[in-house]
Amino acid sequence: MSEEKKLSYEEFVKKSIETLRSPKYKGIHSVFSGFNQAFKEYFGEDPIKVTKQLADEGKIAIRPAKGGVMIYLPEDVSPSVNTSQIFEKMGIDRNDSKKMSYEEFTRLAIEKLRPPKYKGIHSVYSGFNQAFKEYFGEDPIKVTKQLTEEGKVTVRPAKGGVMIYLPEDVSPTTSAMSILKKMGLK
C-alpha cells in the first residue's frame, strides 16, 4: 500500500466481514476465511490483539470457534452472556466465601440454565463456560471432561461447543463413555 490511504482497523475488519462471509453465514472464521493472514499482511500487526480490542469496544463481536474465532458485526449476533444474570438465575452469590464443588456448580447450572424443553445446556450459549471461568478461575472444558470421565455429567458434541447433561437425563446406551466401558475399552 504505497500512497493509498489505509483503512482503519475497524474499517478493515468490517469490510472483511461483509466481503468474506458466505451467504449462509453472518460472520467469518478468523483463520479459515483468510482474515488473519490478510490482516497481518495489510497492517503488519497481530489481528488477535486488535479484534479483541474492537470487540471490547463493541465495534465487532467475537465468538469462540474450532480452530480460531468467528467475527461478526455486532448487530448480527445476540448479545454476549452477562455472568451476573447467570449467577442470579443459578441463585449464586459470588461474594459467598464458601465455594461449591465443580460437580455442584455444574449440576446447578444444568438445572437452572437449561431451556424448558431441553434436558441439557450448551457450554457456550448458556453462559456456562464464562460463568465457570469467573467463579473458579479455571478451564471449564478440562473440568467437564473430568466430570464426564467420573460419570457425573454427560457431554455431547454440539455446534460451537458441547451440550452438558446430568447422566440421568440421557440414555446410557448413547453415552460414548458407557459404550466404551461396556466394550471393556475404558
Exposure string over 110-143, b if 16+ CB within 10 A, otherwise e: bebbbeeeeebbbbbbbbbbbbbeebeeeebeeb
Instruction: List the pLDDT tens digit at each of the 186 positions of the chain.
Output: 455 789 999 999 999 999 999 888 889 999 999 999 999 999 999 999 999 899 888 888 888 888 888 999 888 876 566 788 889 999 998 878 888 999 999 999 999 999 888 899 989 888 899 899 889 989 999 999 999 999 999 999 887 788 999 999 987 555 566 667 777 776
CATH architecture of residue range(s) 83-182:
Orthogonal Bundle (1.10)
Q: What is the pTM of this model?
A: 0.55
Angle between helices 140-149 and 128-136 (to 10 degrees): 100
Enter the C-alpha cell of residue 29.
472464521
The residue whose grid cell reads 474465532 is: 69
CATH architecture of residue range(s) 9-76:
Orthogonal Bundle (1.10)
Residue ranges, comma separated, of all CATH 1.10.10 domains in the chain are 9-76, 83-182
The residue whose grid cell reads 457425573 is: 152
